[in-house]
Structure 1
Amino acid sequence: MTIPALLRQAARLHKDRPFLIFPDRTLGFAEVDERTDQLAGALADHGVRPGDRVAIMLDNVPGWPIGWLAALKAGAITVPVNARYRSADLAHVLRDSGAVVALTSPDYAPFIREVGVPVLEERAGKAPEVSIDPWDIATFSYTSGTTGFPKACMLPHDYWTRTAEIMAEHVGFREDDVVMVAQPFSYMDPQWMALMCLVAGVPLVVLPRFSASGFWPAARRHGATVTYVLGTMPTLLFKQPPHELDRDNRMRLVMCSGIPAKLHAALEERWDAPWRELYGSTESGSDLLVRPDDERTVGTGAMGCAPPGKEVKVLAEDGQPGEIVVRGTPMMRGYWNHPDATAHAFRDGWFHTGDLGFRDEHGYIHHAGRLKDMVRRGGENISCAEVETVLAQHPAVRAAALVPVPDDLWGELPKAFIQLNPGHDADRTTAAEVIAHARERLARFKIPAFVEFVTGFSYTPSQRIEKRHLLHPERDQRAGSIAIETPRETT
């Protein structure tokens, strides 16, 4: 099934039942179907044709899912854009994808026009009649992947509808369920959760942003029964002062990627709800799940077993952790414009995740590290190559390398090692100038939290910086660094 077909089916079955609930507006299933028809017509009138790329850069407002579903009805490929992107990361996504038009707000329109992409002005029209196949590409979803700049995962309609069906079956929805999401719609999670709600015929409450202090009050207010969190969200929630109403909620399942093992039991006890692990990637969708009724995994770090249609194994030898590899459906159709990276990711019939893991005696897979050249800051993947390129554009910088530094809250923070050109002082003033340069060009979650100046780097035969020489597990990576004052974000 295609996504437009799934929406039309849900509109017929559920009509005026609430589908998308925003702070200031609730949209029914049939209304979303009608409004997306109109916007699909406007896109077609603008000249958008099947296979064209349509960028979406909006906050968590009704226009995001409406624009996303409308572009798909027009046969276009959607390009979700993080609303925090600025000149460098925004230009990369828009130019690499070949976006022909963007759906955005007045706040973000100047950034998009600066890159040379037009912004759609008209908002009504007659839905075009286009033929869409389940294997047609629905979305270019950018991910840090294993190496280099963020690459677009080409995700077909079948990827999305299969993911929605797998997750709906996993949750086991009831008539009175209410799903709640706090992540930005430009991320994968609200997208598959919205489609999951189309399959189940239940509403999705969309919060404007994640707020540790406001999450559970919102859950109580909306009667939420199912949600998904990740990254720093569990820890930030647990750090909130205990409240007499903590257990006064309808939540029956909290899905989470990366549940802190030491907090797992305490999280369940505090909010009187089961927390269950979910592991996957943009490239491959949901790969490992812990059943809602499986209490044995609490506090173990186990990520569960593969859902129907998927095979997951660990390439381990001699009892050591090995790379986690996956095959089956759903799965991306490759990286846009990167055939070599696609071939490298899919070797011997398996998708290589770049994550390390091991299998326990119960058959559950556990996460045990990473092979990717990236930093995982909370729920964000940061491409080291992308940040290094921006840092190296500053006239004071001769070369730069970005590495992860362990952090109790964020999991990892980015640290930049910088070699300066002659005539520049290795001091806090220079560090501040280089970081200011980066802040103008990158989303703020990508900005290095620490800077350490070095006199030089060692290089591989292919002239890549040997980062293994920069990582010293026996010492605190903050030692000898200049700490950068960065805003404490909520996600």
Structure 2
Amino acid sequence: MYTVHGMFAAAADAAAHRPFICVPPRSDRAYFPQGIEISYGEIAQRVDDLRSRYADAGYGHGHRACLLLENRPDLIVHWLALNAIGVSIVPINPAYRASEIGYLLSHAEPALVVTVREQRQLETALSEAAQPIAVLRVAGDDLGAGIADIPRALYAAPLAGPAGSTTEAALLYTSGTTAQPKGCILTNEYFVSTGRWYLTRAGEATYHFGSDRLYAPLPLFHMAGLACTFMAMLLSGGCVILPERFNPRFAWTDIVTCRATVLHYLGVIVAALLGQPESPDDTRHSLRFSMGVGANPDLRARARQRFGISFVEGWGMTETGRSPFITVEPRHLELNAIGRSEASFEMKVVDGDDVEVPNGVVGELCVRHSAATPRKGFFAGYLKNPEATEAAWRNGWFHTGDSAWQHDSGLFVFVDRLKHLVRRSGENISAAEVEGVMISSPMVQQAAVVAARDPVRDEEVAAFVVAAGSAGTAEERAALIFGYCAERLAPYKLPAWIKFVDELPMTSTNKIQKHQLLQGDRDPLAEAGMIDLRTAKSAAIKNANQ
């Protein structure tokens, strides 16, 4: 039996002097504006003190604590202290509004909320909560050293005995669109197995134990930030570099000054870095490689050329923890390849009847640990929603909701989220494929493709574009982008509608909120500023058929 805290304690005992957390300098930040580097031993001292004080206040095995501590090192200290006594954490996204926080409080039923001061949305949610909740307000800039009193638990710990590998360590909420987000129950085993898996992909992503410094721009309320990057450094005796959030203006400077050796990315992060002015620092760094998800082949090729490192692509989601990556040859970098099926993480592609499809045929990606123990290391279920849990685990495989196909080399190739496919006249069009072509154009900085309602074809391709320049009229720019796409896509995949926007709606984890782009009944004619390219598309299709 083991816990996240137990793993940390072993690392701290082995090398107390090593740096564990690095915060880049930022003069306008409320905490550690000059930046700071904190050792394993220093964190261990703060954790041990808080652990005893939480236990003395009556908190224990089976309690939950909501943490609204942003991306501060204090969140790590509180998590490790609470984990040691069997308390699970529910990290709160600081961008959440009162109604969203209220849902988490009612659904997760925490015994305690730990928060930095002056959080108005949280205070509103707490004032409207159906049941009283103990609240600990902290400075958030002293690793808990200034805490005077911890409020006593309002009820006894629900579970007896010490925490172990199957104990809930965190409850992370997946992003919702039209429905409420689902709470993923994540155990100590989940966190340890995910961190170990991330560390041991080898090949192009080989870690150096005891010396790596990982720049982790994703927030700690995201599984990549909490389970992948943080746990990887904890388990290897490395140092995690924690900016307050990803900011493309500062990120590369942080990477250089903090001596990062590894970068974790999302596709939008790679695109944003490429959008910055070129600098001598582009190659004056200590990075050996970068690994992440969501960067298409063009982005990765351009980034490798500019920054001089490999961008190792993979795939993942909160429910699965472990993620495949393409680290060994043949890698087929020209494809959206994400990895291979292997021991402890098996993959296959199925049709709508759960029948495995031949190589080259697109279907739904399904994954599991193994036939004997399919759920080992995965999430333990959706909180208070066993029906959704079992629906996802049909026939012994976790159904990801992503479309993919398998290459003859054994590599799996990501296509898109199933719900992001555009169904036009019986043809499935990948939004990700169209977006990839559009953002490869020098005229496009960002693009998001959604399905627009069409009375004849069921759905059509609508693109929301952040332009890379402002020359010409919107109609002229749309025509040029359409022409660029027409040289690279089958005519039926071409955008029928384009709208230029100043920015795309993003989550705090840098994912595009597509459900905000074309709302209601998805009628493009009701969208102000939408440019109609249906005539040009029809002509392209007609010419192709001649």
| TM-score normalized by the length of structure 2 | 0.69
Amino acid at match of 1:120: L
Matched with 2:134 is 118
Establish whether residue 234 from structure 1 lines up as the match of residue 294 from structure 2.
no
What one-letter code is carried by the residue in structure 1 that aligns with 2:324?
A: L
* Alpha-carbon contact 2:219-2:509 (below 8 Å) kept: no
Shift of 1:121: 4.4
- Structure 1 residue 305: deviation in Å? 1.6
Q: Cα offset for 1:232?
A: 1.1
2:290 equivalent in structure 1: 254
Structure 1 residues 322, 451: closer, same or farther in 2, change over 3 A? Answer: closer
1:240 Cα deviation from its structure 2 partner: 1.1
Match of 1:14 in 2: 15
Correspondence for 2:246: 210
Q: Which residue of 2 aligns with 1:305?
A: 340
The alpha-carbon deviation at position 277 of structure 1 amounts to 0.8
* 1:7-406 correspondence to structure 2 within 5 Å: 7-23=8-24, 24-108=35-119, 109-116=122-129, 117-121=133-137, 123=147, 131-144=162-175, 148-170=179-201, 171-174=205-208, 175-192=210-227, 193-291=229-327, 294=329, 296-306=331-341, 308-316=343-351, 317=357, 319-328=360-369, 329-372=376-419
Q: Supply the distance in 1 between the matched residues of 2:519 and 2:105 (Cα, whole angstroms).
A: 32
The answer for the alignment partner of 2:3 in structure 1 is 2
Assess if the C-alpha contact under 8 Å between 1:226 and 1:251 holds in 2: yes
- CA shift at 1:278, angstroms? 1.8
Shift of 1:447: 9.2
Equivalent AA in structure 1 for residue 179 of structure 2: G
The unaligned stretches of length 5 or more in structure 1 are 376-402, 418-438, 455-469, 471-476, 485-491
Measure, in 1, the Cα distance between the counterparts of 2:170 and 2:111: 14
Distance 2:81 2:36 in 1: 19
Cα distance in 1 for residues equivalent to 2:419 and 2:16: 45
* CA displacement 1:352-384 (0-9 Å, x = unmatched): 101110001111111112234899xxxxxxxxx
The amino acid that maps onto 1:247 is T
Q: Deviation at 1:299?
A: 3.1
Q: Sequence identity of aligned pairs in percent?
A: 26
Structure 2 distance, partners of 1:448, 1:483, is 18
- What is the Cα deviation at residue 483 of structure 1? 6.6
- Aligned twin of 1:430: none
Partner SS, residue 182 of structure 1: coil
Q: Cα 1:85–1:20, aligned 2, differ >3 Å: closer, same or farther?
A: same
Say whether the 8 Å CA contact 1:40–1:71 is kept in structure 2: yes
Moved more, 230-239 or 45-54: 45-54
Give 1:451 shift.
5.5
More displaced 10-residue stretch of structure 1: 304-313 or 277-286: 304-313
C-alpha distance in 1 between matches for 2:319 and 2:11: 27
Cα 1:50–1:227 change in 2 (3 A) is same
Matched residue count: 411
C-alpha separation between the residues in 2 aligned to 1:125 and 1:162?
Answer: 35
**Residues 1:42 and 1:285: Cα distance change in structure 2 (over 3 Å):** same
Q: Which has the larger radius of gyration?
A: 2
Give the AA of the match of 1:312.
M
Measure how far apart 1:295 and its partner are: 6.9
Unaligned runs of 5+ in 2: 25-34, 139-146, 151-156, 352-356, 370-375, 423-430, 440-444, 454-504, 531-546
Amino acid at match of 1:282: T
Q: Secondary structure at the match of 2:135?
A: coil
In 2, the alpha carbon distance for the partners of 1:483 and 1:450 equals 12
Structure 1 residue 49: deviation in Å? Answer: 2.4
In the aligned structure 1, how far is the partner of 2:20 from the partner of 2:111? 30
SS in 1 for 2:263: strand
The more displaced of 356-365 and 280-289 is 280-289
Secondary structure of 2:280 counterpart: coil
Q: Is the 8 A contact 2:102 2:126 kept in 1?
A: no
- Three-state SS of the structure 2 residue aligned to 1:194 is helix
